[in-house]
Amino acid sequence: MKKGKISSYDRLTRNIALTVITVSLAPLILVGGVIFDQFRSIYEEKVYSHLSEVVDKHATNIDAFLRDKLYEIQYLNTAYSYEQLTSAEFLDETLRGMQQQFGRIFVDFGVIDAHGRQVAYAGPFKLLGADYSNADWYRKSRDRNAYVSDVFEGLRQSPHFIITINNGKGERAWTLRATVDFLAFSHLVENIRIGKTGFAYILNDQGVFQTKPHEDQAEKLVLTPGKRIETAGAEGGVTIRHSEGSDGEIYITVSSPLNGGNWELVYQQSLGDAFSDMIRAEYVVLIIFALGGLGIVAMAVLVSRKLVGRCRAMDKESELMNRQMVETGKLAAIGELAAGIAHEINNPVAIMIEEAGWVGDLLKDEAPPMPSRGEIDRALNQVVTQGRRCKDITHKLLSFARQTDPRVTEVSLPALIREVVELSMQPAKYGHVDFSLNLDQDMPPVAASMSELQQVFLNLVNNSIQAMEADGGVLTLGCSRQGNDAVVTVQDTGPGIPAANLGRIFDPFFTTKPVGKGSGLGLSICFGIIHQMGGDIEVESAVGVGTKFTVRLPFPPPADQQERQQEMYHD
Amino acid sequence: MTWTDTERPAVRLLIVDDEAGFTDVLCKRMARRGVNATSVSCGEDAVQVLRRAEFDVAIVDLKLQGMDGVEILKVFKLMAPEMPVIMLTGHGSDEAREACMKLGAEGYLSKPVDFELLFVKTLHWGAGRATA
């Protein structure tokens, strides 16, 4: 029963805590999740659109650069004749002029005849007469008016690319070519640096690097193109992909076509780096969320425990009250029963007394002198006397049963104690307990409920008698005045109470009697009654010597005494 | 105060009590002392008896089947206002005593009653009327 009760409280605690946690965390998680998701998609959108804008802008720049260079060469081609351009001095002068004008972007100029032989050259290398008929770039450029080659090392063993313009037809065909400085070109792309891992490079249609890759970039990193990301903010022609790197990281690649689709500008950045700000923000949010969640859980557990603790205390209190009420009800029922029995006994006793009286009457008037007349009279008297004794007992029982009255009246303690002693005579006799009364007859009355006080002293006296039942003993009752208190002592010569139990005897339900014999409420009710009257009850006990209960009750402040005191002060 | 048979007029006593054992012996003892006692066991019988005869004093038990002592007291005080009534009870509470006294009862004794006391009361209340 007790165990089941405890577990039901635990279950209640758990249920309250779980409910509170669920109710508070569920909306938090829901709202948090939605905001989290929104924030993430907005931020991703922003990052992608920013990257695509950067890449697009640079692609436009690079395209513009290439177009400019092409136009410049085209201008030379149309402004000057074949004869002028094949003149070494003129070509040299033109190159220097261009370099002065635009910086060292053009490395060299050359004119190639229909057979792929360089017939004129201006520049730092000795390439006059070089045969380009088998060069990849030369062959690709043949069927086009203007052509920008891929980057290659070529004869000079250093990376560069070539712009070619074709003129004429058949045997009269000739080609103007210009080499663009690779470093100057690379520079255009190297400027694109974002975060720790973000950088750009250019690939041709075969996927060969057209610019120097970043030094930190491991040459061996291989990207496997992954899913294409569609974003609203992406510029036209820009493609964004998630690619898996050979180092296990996911990379974002943003690419845009260059040079009429022959090349591709690629910007690459690791996903973690691109979204580092977002990830940091997410971590902060998650930590706050986790801490908040922990706080909620802790509070829920704490609050539910406190709540259930309060419930448990209240349950205990109400259980105690119920038990006390049952006990009081039991007392009242016993009282009623006693009253009924007493009433019923009175009638036969009355008849017995009357009959004895009748016999006496008859004997007095009619009987002849008998030798045992004296003995007969004595016997009849005894019947009458014992009948009266019965009457006294029943009257006492009746008066006790009637006194369930909590009204406060003036109570004379010596009289009350005598009454209690008389009521306890019978059990005392069986227990071989002798009473010793030490009552101060002149003490003033106390203000209390007669029936409640009677209950207290009957309880104490009965307890003492029960304690001494085995071996008999002396029960000493005393009352006296000590200062402003009336003091009643109930002292027995019983076995005493062990020190371990002494502190608990006024606790409700504490009993050392066998199950069913005592409710453990008697002394706690006494304690309650005495304290309600503003008094105090104490116990002293020594094992093997006996136990002494001392009840202190305050005297009501006597009105005349107060007046007298006031007079004295006035004097 | 002592009474002798010659000096004393016969007091007519009506006893209302359902304890036959009690009323029988009471009547006998009263009769032996010159009291002319009649006993009935319930209120209805008492009313019948009182209609036919006159009594100097009545002793009424408080707890009875049918009409209880208080009701009988009320009826007696209506039928024979001059007749003193002594109430007798198994146990007397102060409230019941006060109620009876208010209704005009002359005495209130509790059982088992001392016969001598009851006899003296009977004579005290009854003799006055018998002589008058």
pLDDT digits (tens, 9 = 90+) for A129-170: 888 888 888 888 888 888 888 888 777 777 888 899 988 877
B62 to chain A: closest CA residue = A343
Picking from A134, A136, A137, the residue whose alpha carbon sits closest to that of residue A148 is A137
Is the Cβ pair B111, A357 closer than 8 Å?
Answer: no
Q: Which residues of B touch A398 (CB under 8 A)?
A: 91
Closest Cα of chain A to B118: distance in Å?
A: 11
User: What's the CA gap between A264 and A269, in Å, rounded?
Assistant: 16
Residues with Cβ within 8 Å of A15's Cβ and at least 6 positions away in sequence, in order, are none
For residue B7, pLDDT over 60 is answered with no
Which chain B residues touch A if contact means CB-CB below 8 Å?
19, 21-22, 25-26, 28-29, 32, 63, 90-91, 93, 110-113, 115
pLDDT band at A317 (very low <50, low <70, confident <90, very high): confident
Both tokens assigned to A111 = 């004119």
Question: What 3-state DSSP class applies to A376?
Answer: helix
pLDDT band at B55 (very low <50, low <70, confident <90, very high): very high
Whether A80-179 shares its CATH topology with A404-562 is answered no
**Residue among B21, B91, B113 whose CB faces A398 most closely:** B91
Give pLDDT, residue A219: 54
Picking from A351, A352, A379, the residue whose alpha carbon sits closest to that of residue A363 is A379
pLDDT band at A410 (very low <50, low <70, confident <90, very high): confident
- What CATH number matches the domain at A80-179, 3.30.450.20, 3.30.590.20, 1.10.260.40, 3.60.15.10? 3.30.450.20
Please give the average per-residue pLDDT across A233-255, as a whole number: 80
Please state, in angstroms and as integers, the Cα–Cα distance from residue A51 to each residue in A240, A260, A272, A340, following that order.
9, 21, 15, 104
pLDDT band at A274 (very low <50, low <70, confident <90, very high): confident
For residue A2, pLDDT over 50 is answered with no
A407 touches B at CB < 8 Å: no
User: For A32-71, how does the pLDDT look when each residue is reduced to its tens digit (9 = 90+)?
Assistant: 899 989 988 998 888 888 888 888 888 888 889 888 888 9
**Residue among A346, A354, A391 whose CB faces B26 most closely:** A354
**Residue among B22, B91, B113 whose CB faces A395 most closely:** B91
pLDDT band at A525 (very low <50, low <70, confident <90, very high): confident
Select the more confidently predicted residue: A67 or A192: A67
User: For A425-475, how does the pLDDT look when each residue is reduced to its tens digit (9 = 90+)?
Assistant: 888 888 888 999 988 888 888 888 887 888 889 889 988 888 888 888 899
A365 touches B at CB < 8 Å: yes
For residue A412, pLDDT over 80 is answered with yes
Is the Cβ pair A346, B21 closer than 8 Å?
Answer: no
Closest Cα of chain B to A330: distance in Å?
A: 23
User: What's the CA gap between A489 and A536, in Å, rounded?
Assistant: 12
Both tokens assigned to A544 = 């093997």
Both tokens assigned to A519 = 């409710």
pLDDT band at A310 (very low <50, low <70, confident <90, very high): very high
For residue B4, pLDDT over 60 is answered with no
Closest Cα of chain A to B29: distance in Å?
A: 6
Task: Check if the beta carbon of residue A343 is closer than 8 Å to that of residue B90.
Answer: yes
A347 touches B at CB < 8 Å: yes
Q: Contacts by A218-227 with C-beta closer than 8 Å and gap 24+?
A: A218/A247, A220/A246, A221/A245, A221/A246, A221/A247, A222/A246, A223/A251, A223/A253, A223/A268, A225/A253, A226/A250
pLDDT band at A344 (very low <50, low <70, confident <90, very high): confident
Please state, in angstroms and as integers, the Cα–Cα distance from residue B82 to each residue in A2, A24, A114, B9, B97, following that order.
71, 89, 172, 18, 20
Q: For each of the domains in chain B, give its residue range(s) and CATH number, in order of start.
A: 11-131 (3.40.50.2300)
Instruction: List, as one string, the DSSP characters of A77-134.
Output: HHHS-HHHHHSHHHHHHHHHHHHHHH-TTEEEEEEE-TTSBEEEEESSS--TT-B-TT
Both tokens assigned to A393 = 């007992």
Q: Are strands B11-16 and B35-40 parallel, antiparallel or unpaired?
A: parallel
Is the Cβ pair A351, B22 closer than 8 Å?
Answer: yes
pLDDT band at A220 (very low <50, low <70, confident <90, very high): low
A349 to chain B: closest CA residue = B112
Q: Which residues of A touch B91 (CB under 8 A)?
A: 339, 342-343, 346, 394-395, 398
Question: What 3-state DSSP class applies to A434?
Answer: strand
Inter-chain CB pairs, A–B, below 8 Å: 57
Is the Cβ pair A346, B93 closer than 8 Å?
Answer: no
Give pLDDT, residue A568: 44
How many CB atoms sit inside 10 A of residue A26's CB? 10
Please give the average per-residue pLDDT across A69-89, as a whole number: 88
Please state, in angstroms and as integers, the Cα–Cα distance from residue A364 to each residue in A181, A326, A360, A387, B118, following that order.
165, 56, 6, 21, 19
Q: What's the residue count for chain B?
A: 132
Is the Cβ pair A349, B112 closer than 8 Å?
Answer: yes
Calculate what percentage of chain A has a pLDDT beyond 70. 89
User: What's the CA gap between A482 and A489, in Å, rounded?
Assistant: 12
For residue A193, pLDDT over 60 is answered with yes
User: What's the CA gap between A251 and A272, in Å, rounded?
Assistant: 8
Using alpha carbons only, give the angle A66, A68, A72 rounded to the nearest 5 degrees: 120
User: For A206-218, how does the pLDDT look when each residue is reduced to its tens digit (9 = 90+)?
Assistant: 777 777 666 655 4
User: What's the CA gap between A223 and A482, in Å, rounded?
Assistant: 104
Q: What's the residue count for chain A?
A: 571
A391 to chain B: closest CA residue = B112
Is the Cβ pair B115, A354 closer than 8 Å?
Answer: yes
- Phi, psi of A460, rounded to the nearest 5 degrees: -65, -45
Is the Cβ pair A391, B26 closer than 8 Å?
Answer: no
Edge-to-edge order in the sheet of strand A433-439: A433-439, A473-482, A485-491, A546-554, A536-542
Mean pLDDT estimate for chain A: 83
Picking from A268, A259, A337, A295, the residue whose alpha carbon sits closest to that of residue A63 is A259
User: What's the CA gap between A323 and A391, in Å, rounded?
Assistant: 35
Q: What letter represents residue B1's amino acid?
A: M
User: What's the CA gap between B67 and B71, in Å, rounded?
Assistant: 6
Parse chain A into domains and list their residue ranges: 80-179, 404-562
For an interface test with A, give the residue of B5, B18, B22, B61 to mutate (most A CBs within 10 A): B22
User: What's the CA gap between A99 and A95, in Å, rounded?
Assistant: 6
A352 to chain B: closest CA residue = B22
Both tokens assigned to A505 = 């005897």
Does A414 sit behind a cis peptide bond, omega within 30 degrees of 0 on the bond before it?
no
The complex's ipTM works out to: 0.80
Picking from A211, A193, A197, A194, the residue whose alpha carbon sits closest to that of residue A258 is A211
Is the Cβ pair A388, B90 closer than 8 Å?
Answer: no
What CATH number is given for A404-562 in this structure? 3.30.565.10
Give pLDDT, residue A566: 43
Q: Which residues of B touch A361 (CB under 8 A)?
A: 29, 32
**Residue among A343, A352, A355 whose CB faces B90 most closely:** A343
DSSP state of A448: E
DSSP lists the bridge partners of residue B57 as B13
B90 to chain A: closest CA residue = A343
Task: Check if the beta carbon of residue A339 is closer than 8 Å to that of residue A397.
Answer: yes
**Residue among B21, B29, B91 whose CB faces A346 most closely:** B91
Give pLDDT, residue A571: 40
Phi-psi region of A482 (alpha: psi -120 to 50; beta: other; left: phi over 0): beta
Is the Cβ pair B21, A351 closer than 8 Å?
Answer: yes
Select the more confidently predicted residue: A491 or A263: A491
Residues with Cβ within 8 Å of A205's Cβ and at least 6 positions away in sequence, in order, are A261, A262, A263, A264
